């Protein structure tokens, strides 16, 4: 299948090119030229399939023409070594827990899938491939853990010194093997600048095979559709959807997760309504209300993975619906919440139901509470384990109420290994030039 750019100013590319390049050369985002629908009978029987079987059927619709069937199955199965279970939280309200992967956040699904797909496309390539990724925290850990141990690929994670949490830092500095962490004396923007400059450097690109693992990569973003289908199947299996319509609430920052849900809907998944739950970074919320899209610098909140002022996947949403504000604002309803509302919700949900939300999931939960009608069933995406935000969550529900999962404890015990790097390009170029 071919992929086109949302800016429509560059020729279409193959899946392999889209995955290796990440961003189109006209700075647009890649979109598949077709979205194939499932037949109604697929949905009638979907509850008889396992998560992995469903994911494979979905993957086949996107990647079936370009990836050998047995390889695709292998990529799907080795990506999904963990479950994304549905849990009841309140009457008609369910949580889709996306935090059972290695770094305890939903980005593991796309990170792992992309690593394996890239490995598939670059197999037989004699040259070592170098993945450069700048991170403000969570992306680095998802990409590093996704690529950990993948042969022929080395990942270099650039992160701003002193500006990521200890938990986040431990998730990409303690891995070793084919992962190197570079602690940059600067900001996240400096890290991103170093990466971008490296991609433009002719000398480096002559010597090395460099690629990015940006969150806008189609191989990271499309696989997120898998768990929407699975959530539907598991609710149907329990008989919960009889005579009820499904509402899905997505805590959103860059809107990649929600866009994958919209793709699922375009493929026929019976979702009545999507809710986009934001923190105080509300540019899409304002667009949905007014039709005016005005990106602006992000503000810091306690749901910091959604502190995005210019959501990159918004371009995909516009493209998907031919820039129609009327259509987009009917498919997606927007909500936004202050830090105070987020704290209050974490507390209320915990005291009333015993369920522990993280600050992002709490936004999703609130949106459902505001929207849901009695003839509907709501599901909100729990995008991270609450222990990833222990300080915030414990301050609300009390010390000792946020158990540290085994996986996180193991990261915290590991030894930090990182290379100090200045923010000027010369030293980064010297570092890269010494690689093979």
Ligand X SMILES: *Cc1c(COP(=O)(O)O)cnc(C)c1O
Residues acting as catalytic residues: 107
Closest by CA to 123, choosing from 20, 43, 192, is: 20
Window 119-158: residues binding ligand X (CB under 6 A): 138
The stretch among 50-58, 69-77, 117-125, 252-260 that binds ligand X (CB under 6 A) is: 252-260
Minimum CB separation from ligand X for residue 254, in Å? Answer: 3
CB of 313 within 8 A of CB of 221? yes
CB of 391 within 8 A of CB of 343? no
Q: Which residue has the tokens 């699904």?
A: 109
End-to-end CA distance of the chain: 33
Counting Cβ atoms within 10 Å, is residue 198 exposed (0-12), middle (13-18) or buried (19+)?
A: buried
Position 253 contacts ligand X (CB under 6 A): yes
Neighbours of 104 (CB within 10 A): 27
Q: Which of 257, 281, 298, 301 forms a contact with ligand X (CB under 6 A)?
A: 257
Tokens of 134: 């700048």
Minimum CB separation from ligand X for residue 420, in Å? Answer: 26
Minimum CB separation from ligand X for residue 324, in Å? Answer: 21
- Output Rg (C-alpha) for the chain, integer angstroms: 21
Helix (H) or strand (E) holding 264: helix 256-266
Minimum CB separation from ligand X for residue 23, in Å? Answer: 16
Q: How many residues bind ligand X (CB under 6 A)?
A: 16
CB of 76 within 8 A of CB of 64? no
Minimum CB separation from ligand X for residue 278, in Å? Answer: 9
Letters for 349-368 (x = contact with ligand X by CB under 6 A, - = none) are -----------x--------
The stretch among 64-72, 161-169, 226-234, 254-262 that binds ligand X (CB under 6 A) is: 254-262
Please give the DSSP secondary-structure letter assigned to residue 105: B
The stretch among 226-234, 250-258, 266-274, 369-377 that binds ligand X (CB under 6 A) is: 250-258
Letters for 97-116 (x = contact with ligand X by CB under 6 A, - = none) are --------x-x---------
**Closer CB to ligand X, 375 or 391, in the complex:** 391
The stretch among 63-71, 196-204, 246-254, 262-270 that binds ligand X (CB under 6 A) is: 246-254
CB of 356 within 8 A of CB of 393? yes
Strands 245-251 and 376-382: parallel
Position 336 contacts ligand X (CB under 6 A): no
**Closer CB to ligand X, 107 or 116, in the complex:** 107
Minimum CB separation from ligand X for residue 309, in Å? Answer: 12
Relative orientation angle of helices 107-122 and 138-147, to the nearest 10 degrees? 40
Window 377-406: residues binding ligand X (CB under 6 A): 383-384
Position 252 contacts ligand X (CB under 6 A): yes
Helix (H) or strand (E) holding 342: helix 339-353
Window 14-73: residues binding ligand X (CB under 6 A): none
Window 288-327: residues binding ligand X (CB under 6 A): 305-306
**Closer CB to ligand X, 71 or 192, in the complex:** 192
Give the 3-state secondary structure of residue 143.
Answer: helix
Give the 3-state secondary structure of residue 176.
Answer: coil
The residues of the shown chain that bind ligand X, judged by CB under 6 A, are: 105, 107, 138, 251-258, 305-306, 360, 383-384
């Amino acid at each position: 299948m071919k992929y086109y750019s949302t800016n429509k100013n560059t020729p279409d590319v193959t899946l392999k090119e889209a995955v290796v390049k990440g961003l189109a050369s006209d700075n647009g985002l890649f979109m598949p030229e077709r979205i194939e629908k499932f037949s109604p009978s697929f949905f009638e029987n979907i509850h008889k399939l396992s998560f992995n079987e469903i994911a494979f059927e979905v993957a086949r619709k996107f990647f079936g023409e370009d990836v050998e069937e047995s390889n695709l199955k292998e990529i799907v199965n080795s990506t999904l070594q963990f479950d994304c279970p549905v849990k009841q939280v309140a009457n008609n309200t369910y949580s889709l827990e996306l935090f059972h992967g290695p770094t305890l956040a939903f980005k593991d699904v796309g990170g792992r899938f992309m690593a394996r797909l890239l490995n598939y496309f670059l197999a037989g390539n004699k040259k070592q491939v170098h993945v450069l990724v700048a991170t403000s925290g969570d992306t680095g850990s998802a990409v590093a853990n996704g690529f950990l141990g993948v042969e022929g690929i080395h990942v270099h994670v650039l992160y701003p010194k002193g500006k990521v949490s200890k938990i986040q830092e431990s998730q990409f500095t303690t891995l070793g093997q084919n992962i190197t962490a570079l602690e940059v004396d600067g900001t996240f923007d400096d890290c991103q600048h170093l990466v971008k400059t490296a991609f433009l450097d002719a000398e480096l690109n002559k010597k090395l095979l460099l690629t990015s693992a940006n969150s806008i990569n189609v191989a990271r973003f499309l696989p997120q559709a898998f768990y929407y289908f699975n959530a539907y199947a598991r609710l149907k299996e329990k008989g919960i959807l009889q005579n009820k319509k499904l509402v899905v609430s997505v805590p959103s920052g860059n809107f990649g997760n929600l866009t994958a849900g919209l793709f699922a809907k375009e493929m026929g998944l019976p979702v009545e309504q999507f809710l986009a739950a934001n923190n105080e970074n509300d540019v899409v919320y304002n667009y949905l209300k007014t039709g005016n899209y005005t990106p602006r610098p992000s503000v810091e909140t306690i749901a910091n993975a959604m502190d995005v002022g210019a959501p990159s996947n918004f371009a995909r949403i516009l493209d998907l619906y031919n820039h129609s504000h009327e259509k987009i604002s009917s498919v997606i309803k927007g909500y936004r919440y202050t830090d105070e509302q987020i704290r209050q919700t974490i507390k209320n949900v915990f005291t009333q139901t015993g369920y522990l939300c993280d600050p992002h999931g709490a936004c999703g939960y609130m949106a459902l509470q505001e929207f849901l009608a009695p003839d509907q069933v709501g599901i909100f995406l729990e995008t991270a384990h609450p222990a990833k935000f222990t300080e915030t969550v414990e301050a609300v529900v009390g010390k000792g109420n946020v158990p540290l999962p085994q996986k996180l404890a193991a990261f915290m015990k590991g030894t930090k290994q990182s290379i100090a790097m200045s923010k000027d390009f010369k030293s980064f170029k010297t570092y890269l030039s010494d690689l093979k």
